[in-house]
Amino acid sequence: MNPMTTAATPSPHVDTPASWSPGSWRGLPAAQQPDWPDTGALESALQVLAGQPPLVFAGEARALREHLALASRGEAFLLQGGDCAETFAAFSADAIRDKLKVLLQMAIVLTYGAQMPIVKVGRIAGQFAKPRSSDTETVDRVTLPAYRGDAVNGLDFASEARVPDPDRLIRVYNQSAATLNLLRAFTRGGFADLEKVHVWNQEFVAASPQGQRYSALAEEITRALRFLTACGVDVANDPTFHTVDFWTSHEALLLGYEEALTRQDSLTGEWFDCSAHMLWVGERTRDPDGAHVRFLSGVQNPVGVKLGPSANVDEVVALAQRLNPERVPGKLTLITRMGVGQVADRLPSLVRDVADLGIPVVWSCDPMHGNTFTSNGGYKTRRFTDILDELRVFFAVHAQEGTTPGGVHFELTGEDVTECLGGAHEIADLDLSTRYETACDPRLNNGQALELAFQMAEMLRA
């Protein structure tokens, strides 16, 4: 059996209501949509996209849903992560490789800590559109439309750059296709070799100022691999130790783009949004009666919903009713992002009420989006300790309520950026400017992401 994947149960067929079509979100209130200056140009771009091949296949999205069904029951654990916003400028084979590499390294540590398969989902190959708290941005008394992600406009603080340009949607599709192509090659072609990924982890432990703390667990993994070899398992050559399943996800924000890539599965007649395996709806667009939820209610991909501190059980019931009326396990992931200050107050009753109603969900924790603030130097940042503490409370609440902590959701990168404060290398306020490269929210860097995996492994064992 592949240690990085797991056998899944057959997937139920789910009928989409006859009243739904990929375009039936049109006419409903759609939050966070760009003000496209030329709607004719937008519709032409969407028509081009509608004629392109799907980026992912229905069967793959269905398989992910089955793996998430295991996560909903505590038989697997979801690791979802990647950039806050992918960009055209930061597109390179090395950056994609390094992002995959850090996720694979985290996954091995978590596999060992949780003693269960890790479902690996990237915020990648499509994460190009951003909801914004404000429609405008003001710098030195100049006010311009906000940056909404490379799918919409440019990050440069210049009025031309901030005009929404629908040709960007085609570039998003093309970059996503190239990214997926590389991911498929890396995950099948030997890059994901279990022993190699473990060696990278040993190198991380050796170089980390917190090395002693993590070396015991790394050593246990080494011994587990030696044990397999001693039992006659050919860890070095058995193909199951060389390949991994890796899925893609992004926020389904630009509904025209998502609609254009939605296709009917020729085998089953079910609709799938073929822009990614998993889609989620954000904290700002999760209105149960809004356009985003309407769109996602008809596709059979697994979907996520971000839940901030204001979320209540009635909203969750309404969302579950629309997004998973047949209560298919694995279909709906609730991604809580309460913030360290509110999680202990908000999470327990929500978890309890949803459990009492018997609604099957994967509970995932996004410890990033409730913990963002602006540093003294003016950089948007997050504290490593806040992220860790929200995770700790997430696990404690589920233990206390007898529910299943099913996964985690991070903004991270494989590079040594300085965007989040703290970690073993103690990034301080004054260090943020050294390598602050994100186009939107601050990401964990390579070392911070791995440290988090080691500390989560300790939590999962406990």
Interacting residue ranges for Co ion, rule: CB under 5 A = 84, 441
Stretch that binds ligand PEP, among 28-36, 143-151, 235-243, 279-287 (CB under 6 A): 279-287
> Which CB, 251 or 270, lies closer to ligand PEP?
251
**Contact of residue 270 among ligand PEP, Co ion, none (CB under 5-8 Å per partner type):** none
Does residue number 150 form part of the binding site for ligand PEP (CB under 6 A)? no
Binding mask 362-401 for ligand PEP (x = CB under 6 A): -------x--------------------------------
Q: How far is the CB of 134 from Co ion (least distance, A)?
A: 15
As measured in angstroms, the least distance from the Cβ of 371 to Co ion is 11
Contact residues for 453 (Cβ-Cβ < 8 A; gap 6+): 105, 106, 109, 110
Task: Report the length, in residues, of the chain.
Answer: 462
Which of the listed partners (Co ion, ligand PEP, none) does 283 bind, with a CB threshold of 5 to 8 Å by partner kind?
ligand PEP
Q: Would you count residue 443 as binding ligand PEP (CB under 6 A)? A: no
Q: Which stretch binds ligand PEP (CB under 6 A): 32-40, 134-142, 143-151, 280-288?
A: 280-288
What span, in angstroms and rounded, lies between the C-alpha atoms of 213 and 139?
44
Binding mask 327-366 for ligand PEP (x = CB under 6 A): ----------x-----------------------------
**Measured from the CB of residue 382, what is the shortest distance to ligand PEP in angstroms?**
12
Residue sitting closest to ligand PEP (CB): 282
Asked if 273 is part of the footprint of ligand PEP (rule: CB under 6 A), the reply reads no
Q: Using CB atoms within 10 Å of the CB of residue 35, give its burial: 0 to 12 exposed, 13 to 18 middle, 19+ buried.
A: exposed
Is there a contact between 13 and 268 (Cβ–Cβ < 8 Å)?
Answer: yes
Please state, in angstroms and rounded to a whole number, the distance separating the CA atoms of residues 30 and 235.
Answer: 51
Of 253 and 354, CB closest to Co ion: 253
3-state secondary structure of 410: strand
Q: What is the DSSP letter of 100?
A: H
> Could you tell which of ligand PEP, Co ion, none binds residue 250, using a CB distance below 5 to 8 A set by kind?
none
Question: Rg of the chain over CA atoms, in angstroms?
Answer: 21
Which element (helix H / strand E) includes 148? none
* Nearest by Cα to 176 from 42, 263, 273: 273
Query: CB under 5 to 8 A by kind: which of ligand PEP, Co ion, none does 443 bind?
Result: none
Whether 19 contacts 294, CB under 8 Å: no
Tokens standing for residue 222: 């080494």
End-to-end CA distance of the chain: 26
The answer to whether the beta carbons of residues 364 and 335 sit under 8 Å apart is yes
* Binding site partner of 126, from Co ion, ligand PEP, none, Cβ cut-off 5-8 A by kind: none
Residue closer to Co ion (CB basis): 386 or 441? 441
250 lies in the binding site for ligand PEP (CB under 6 A): no
User: Nearer Cβ to ligand PEP, position 175 or 243?
Assistant: 175
Report how far apart, in Å, the C-alpha atoms of 230 and of each of 108, 115, 196 are.
20, 20, 18
Where residue 95 falls (left for φ over 0; alpha for ψ -120 to 50; beta otherwise) is alpha
The site partner of 337 among Co ion, ligand PEP, none (C-beta below 5 to 8 Å per kind) is ligand PEP
Which residues 60-99 are close enough to bind ligand PEP by CB under 6 A?
84
Closer to Co ion by CB, 86 or 258: give it.
86
Check residue 228 and report its DSSP letter.
H
State the binding partner of 149 from Co ion, ligand PEP, none, CB within 5 to 8 A by kind: none
Residue 245 vs 251, nearer CB to Co ion: 251
Cα angle at 358 between 355 and 362, to 5 degrees?
A: 65
For 342-380, give one letter per residue: b (16+ CB within 10 A) or e. Answer: ebbebbbebbbebbeeebbbbbbbbbbbbbbeebeeebb
Q: Which residues bind ligand PEP (CB under 6 A)?
A: 84, 131, 251, 282-284, 306, 337, 369, 441
